[in-house]
Amino acid sequence: MDKVLIWDWPVRIGHWLLVGAFALAWITGDSEEWRLVHAFAGGTVVGAILFRLLWGLVGTRHARFASFVRGPRAALDYVLGLLRGDASQYAGHNAAGGWAIVALLTLGLLTGASGWLTYQDMGGEWLEEVHEALATGMLAVAAVHVAGVVVSSLAHRENLLRSMLTGLKQGRPDEAIANARPLVLVVLLGWVVACAWWLAR
């Protein structure tokens, strides 16, 4: 199989924005001094996720939820296939990875919402506890996600991390997307900055 274009620019840059912003929010979470940076990083996470939800409906082929959110049976089959050494190859996200992505996006939104309410002094101590628990849950799912990326990379002999940078993956020519959507990337960046600024103010 050849390398073909699978991930557009908004998916790739959105992913790394999410990773960077989540990491920054995590390391600044306990500090009063870094509160504004923490709120800005959290706002970036929320902005990137809100954009991703819309892009999952109207984006390019492999970015769409309809193309990668499959039933629990397909996810289980993929994991069993990994254990047997004959896991099916997917041009986009695999059936198990799709569920980790849904969990990360959901936890990211809930973490952001509880953090924003706490930041606005709208929740009590309990909401802060909920915010921390959600962030910890998200870190745990992210760890499972990264482990899954490593295992799938080894199983399919393909560097999936590199594919999230270049957009190229093994696939048939008819599975490729025609355009990497660089202009939508500009919209994404503008939206994320506006969102982060608005939520951190």
Q: Which spans of this chain sit near ligand HEM (rule: CB under 6 A)?
A: 11, 14-15, 18-19, 22, 52, 63, 93-94, 97, 101, 104-105, 142, 145-146, 149, 160-161, 163-164
Nearer to ligand HEM, 21 or 32 (CB): 21
Shortest gap between Cβ of 59 and ligand HEM (angstroms)? 9
> How far, in Å, CA of 190 to CA of 101, rounded?
23
Token output for 172: 């048939």
Nearer to ligand HEM, 128 or 159 (CB): 159
Shortest gap between Cβ of 22 and ligand HEM (angstroms)? 4
> How far, in Å, CA of 158 to CA of 170, rounded?
8
Shortest gap between Cβ of 33 and ligand HEM (angstroms)? 24
Tell me how far CA of residue 145 lies from CA of 50, 107, 152, in angstroms.
Answer: 20, 13, 10
Shortest gap between Cβ of 75 and ligand HEM (angstroms)? 13
Nearer to ligand HEM, 25 or 200 (CB): 25
Nearer to ligand HEM, 71 or 124 (CB): 71
Burial pattern 56-80, b for ≥16 Cβ within 10 A else e, equals beebbbbbebebbbbeeebbebbee
**Three-class SS of 74-117:** HHHHHHHHHHHCCCCCCCCCCHHHHHHHHHHHHHHHHHHHHHHH
Shortest gap between Cβ of 50 and ligand HEM (angstroms)? 13
Nearer to ligand HEM, 25 or 130 (CB): 25
